[in-house]
Structure 1
């Protein structure tokens, strides 16, 4: 009888292993189908290179890169190609601030000035303090004025400097490498009454907390508050508490922290690259990462939304994903399903249907992360070429249609595998 039980158990194990192998083979086959179809799009796309990632609430379903990262010499764009992700970077500010709150270093509703080495006061409402929460929800009344816009983008080197400084990237502009300064010095010069670039138009004639006004400089100020509250640079804090725990080993905040040989050029068009550049206000848009690493980040955000994240407590993730604003906080409110400015969490944007994500754009690139809560789906797309209004939207839709189609297939296989286990 004992031998019979052993035989039955062995037979069951064989069946289980066979089913698992079949499911895994089907998963890989489906991934390959998606790869082949995206590769076809890359042959005629209006952008040189692009990266994608796809997750459900349990695992990374897909990540890859396609097309060209460099022309001379040729460099392929793949899932390990490093690229700046622009304003999608801001989503890390919210996680970092909430982690600092968990560590007892600050509180969201704290006024910012006790943390800062210089005063930041809206001259129109000098008695109303600006809070950390307002910085992270773009309601601080701090405005991206011309001084901010024209001084933050800095060229990496002096190669063809005179020519590169003339490139039109309105409303911003390139600055020489010698213009590189810390976020503290930059913010001091722009926001402090005694700062050499200070102008009253860096503040709106609105009370702090009253009006939603998307503010890059306000987001960077939240990162500086975190630095002063924790005694760590923003780059070091986010590396310790976000990048390393998620094993985002190919990501960083400056060229010295990533494998520069894998860094993509960004392009004016399919023939002409931009010079390499970085940002003085790097927390608001200077994250350098890969599609592979972003897939890990998307998975953590999706898990966090459903109460299973590892970076923050359930309570902190709930705060992060809670829309913070009311109708009266908006003047010209975007009602688009895919706009990330219908409402705001703690730096995470919400569309009008309650789905959430963030978009980004800088010279030669566009990026977007977007999460569909009911489908438990998260997707990422980044391109390394200036957006062509006639063609790029069509290419983007073709990519999204494939990602949506193959999410259903990969998600079903993934959940079947888990059920069989």
Structure 2
């Protein structure tokens, strides 16, 4: 009897291992097919390099990079290439705020002046406090005015400084390296009525909480509130509570935090690189990461949406993914399925169909994360070249079509192996 049991166990294990090996081989074969087709597309795209990632609610299905990261000397763009992801960075602010709430350091509906070292008050409505929730849903009445636009983008070094300062990146502009300051100093200059860049147009003629108005300054202010509430710098907090738990070991918020030899140039066109730059308001758009690390982040967000996340509780993720706004909070509301401004969670955007994600754009790059809840599919695309109105949309669609096609196959293989 004992021998029969051992034989049955052996046969069961053998069958299981054989099935797993077959599934693994099928997965690798399908991933290689996708790689070959994306590599072919990369030869004719309007951008030099791009990265992609694809997840379901169980695992990372694919991540890779294609094309060129540097042109002199030539360096390939791959899944380990580091790039700034622009406003997709904002999705981390919501997670960080909710983690701080779990730690008992703040509450979403707290007035921000409870924590700030300087007062932030809409002068037209001085008796209505601005709350953390309003910052994270872009309803604070804080407005990205000219002071913000012209002061936040800072060159990394002084090489060709006079020439680089003249590059047109309207509505923003490049500033010399000496302009680099902390987010506290920057926000104090912009939002404090005694600040050197203060102007009343940094606030709308709308009550806090009344109107959706996408605000980079507002989300960076949420990061400063977190710093003051927790006593931990925002970059340190997000590294401790997001990057390290997810093993995003190649991500950070400044050039010293990443492997700079793997950092891509960004490009005006396929022949002309931009100078390296960073942001004074780095929480709103300055995350530096790889397609490999972003695949881990996408997987966590997808798991979190379905109640299985690791870095926030189910309750916090439910708050993060709950549309917070109503129709009356909008003027000229976008009804596009793929707009990330039809509604807002806690820094996470929603399209009109209820699918969710975020877009980003800075000089020489564009990025998109998007999640399809019914398919349980998460998709990432980032490019390192300015958008060509005639060609880039077609290139993007070709990449998306391939990712969508292969998601069906990779997802089926993933589920058959478990």
Give the TM-score normalised by structure 1: 0.99
Equivalent residue for 1:86?
86
Please name the residue that 1:22 is paired with: 22
**Larger deviation: 12-21 or 301-310?**
12-21
Deviation digits for residues 189-237 of structure 1 (CA, Å, limit 9, x no counterpart): 0000000000000000000000000000000000000000000100000
Distance in 2 between residues matched to 1:407 and 1:99, nearest whole Å: 31
- Determine the C-alpha separation between the residues in 2 that align with 1:170 and 1:399: 28
Distance 1:376 1:212 in 2: 28
- String of CA shifts for 1:70-110, please: whole Å, max 9, x gaps: 01111110000000000000000000000000000000000
Q: CA deviation at 1:19?
A: 1.4
SS of equivalent to 1:174 = coil
Question: SS in structure 2 opposite 1:268?
Answer: strand
Three-state SS of the structure 1 residue aligned to 2:417 is: helix
Q: Shift of residue 344 of structure 1?
A: 0.1
Could you say which residue in structure 1 is the equivalent of 2:117?
117
Aligned position for 1:239: 239
The alignment partner of 1:44 has SS state of coil
1:287 corresponds to: 287
- State which drifts further: 256-265 or 14-23: 14-23
Instruction: State the SS of the aligned residue for 1:210.
Output: coil
- Aligned residue number for residue 47 of structure 1: 47
Q: How many residues align?
A: 418
Secondary structure of the residue aligned to 2:50 is: strand
Name the structure 1 match of 2:369. 369
2:381 matched to which residue of 1?
381
1:342-353 → structure 2 map (5 Å cutoff): 342-353=342-353
Query: Which residue number in structure 1 is paired with residue 172 of structure 2?
Result: 172
Moved more, 57-66 or 15-24: 15-24
- Distance in 1, matches of 2:302 and 2:243, equals 16
Distance (whole Å) between structure 2 residues aligned to residue 7 and residue 198 of structure 1: 79
The answer for the alignment partner of 1:203 in structure 2 is 203
Question: Is 1:249 paired with 2:264?
Answer: no
Separation in 2 of the partners of 1:226 and 1:144?
20
- 1:181-330 aligned at under 5 Å gives the runs 181-330=181-330
**1:105 aligns to 2:105 (yes or no):** yes
2:157 corresponds in structure 1 to: 157
SS in 2 for 1:175: coil
Partner deviation per Cα, 1:365-390 (whole Å, 9 max, x = no partner):
00000000000000000000000011
More deviation, 132-141/14-23:
14-23
* Structure 2 equivalent of residue 33 of structure 1: 33
Partner residue of 1:138? 138
CA distance in 1, matches of 2:117, 2:17: 62
2:178 alignment partner, SS class: helix
Give 1:14 shift: 2.0
**Partners of 1:31 and 1:348 in 2: CA distance:** 29
CA separation in 1, counterparts of 2:158 and 2:6?
73
Partner of 1:392: 392
Distance of 1:162 and 1:241 partners within structure 2? 40
Q: Quick one: distance in 2 between partners of 1:179 and 1:17?
A: 59
Which stretch of structure 1 is more off in the superposition, 139-148 or 14-23? Answer: 14-23
Q: Give the Cα–Cα distance (whole angstroms) in 1 for the partners of residues 11 and 241 of structure 2.
A: 46
For residues 251 and 65 of structure 1, what CA distance do their matches in structure 2 show? Answer: 16
Q: SS of the counterpart of 2:220? A: helix
Measure the CA separation in 2 of the matches of 1:62 and 1:180.
37
Taking only aligned residues, the RMSD between alpha carbons, in angstroms, comes to 0.7
Q: Please identify, of 82-91 and 12-21, the stretch whose mean Cα deviation from structure 2 is larger.
A: 12-21
- SS of equivalent residue, structure 1 residue 303: helix
How far 1:2 moved relative to its partner? Answer: 3.7
Q: Deviations over 1:313-365 (max 9, x none)?
A: 00000000000000000011000000000000000000000000000000000
Q: CA deviation at 1:168?
A: 0.2
Q: Is there any run of 5+ residues in structure 1 with no aligned partner, and where?
A: none
What is the CA-CA distance between 1:18 and the residue it aligns to? 1.4
